Amino acid sequence: MPEERIMDLNQLQEMLPYRFRDASLLDTALTHRSYVNENPSELRRDNERLEFLGDAVLELCISDLLMQHFPDYQEGPLSQLRAAIVNEQPLAEMAKSFQLGDCLLLGKGEEASGGRSKPSLLANAFEALLAAIYLDTGFEEAAALIRRLFTPLIGEGYRTYRDYKTIVQQISQHAFKETPRYTLIHEYGPDHDKTFEIQISIADRIQTTGTGKNKKEAEQRAAEQAIRILETLLPDGRE
C-alpha cells in the first residue's frame, strides 16, 4: 500500500477512534467500483460487498437502540423511525464528520463529477466502514461505534434526522391513530422559479404550513413545524 495511502488511513483511524488489525479491510471499505474498473492491474476489490454487510449490522444496532429508547412503540412506528435514521442523508453526514470523502479511491470520471461529496457514495462508504470493523474485530466493536455515534442523536429528539414527514407520521399514528394530510394551498412565482405553500393537518387538532421550491420541500417544512407543536403537546412523543 502506498505510503500516502497509509498516512490517510492512519489519520482516519485516529478520528474514529479505532485501530484496524487488518488495514486492508479499511482500504477496501473506501474503494469505489469506479477505481477498481479503471485500475484492474491493482487487483483490488470494491466496497460493495462490505456496504451490503454494513447495512445489516447498522440496521440491527439501530433497531436495538430504538427498542431501548422507545419501549412502548410497536413494530410499525419503530420501523418508520429506523427508516428515518438508516437512510442516505444522516449516513452521509456521519461520513462527512470523519472526512471519509477525502479517503475514497475513485475513478477519474467519478472524481471529476464530485464523487467525494456525493451523499450516496458517502453513505455507502460509511456502511462499508462499519462492516470492515465488524470483520476486523467482531460485532461488539462495530456496535460500540454505532452506539457512540447514534445514541446522542436519538436522545436529542426526532428532528435530528431531518426526514420530518416520516417522523410526524410516526408520531401522529402513535398518538392519534391517524395519518397526516397534506394540502397544496398556494403556489406563486414564474414557472421556472415557483414557490409552493402546503398545509399539514393532523387529527383536526394541528394545522401548520410550510413553503418550498418544490412540493416535497414544502411538505417537509410543514411537517417540521407540526413536530415543534407536537413536542409541546406530547413531550415524550406519545399521549
Indicate which residues carry an active-site annotation: 55, 127
Cβ density class 144-180: b for 16+ within 10 Å, e for less:
ebbbebbeebbeeebebbebbbbbbbbbbbbbbeeeb
Which amino acid, one-letter code, is at 79?
A: S
Q: What is the CA radius of gyration of the chain?
A: 21
Instruction: Report the distance separating Cα 160 and Cα 43, nearest Å.
Output: 40
84 within 8 A of 163, measured Cβ to Cβ: yes
- Listed in sequence order, the DSSP H helices in 161-207 are 164-176
- The sheet with strand 181-188 has its strands ordered as 181-188, 195-202, 206-212
Distances (CA, A) of 165 to 3, 120, 172, 202, 213: 46, 21, 10, 12, 17
Instruction: Report the distance separating Cα 200 and Cα 82, nearest Å.
Output: 23
In the chain, beta strands by DSSP E: 181-188, 195-202, 206-212
Q: Dihedral of the CA atoms 46, 161, 163, 60 (nearest 10)?
A: 60
DSSP labels, 10-23: HHHHHHTT---SSH
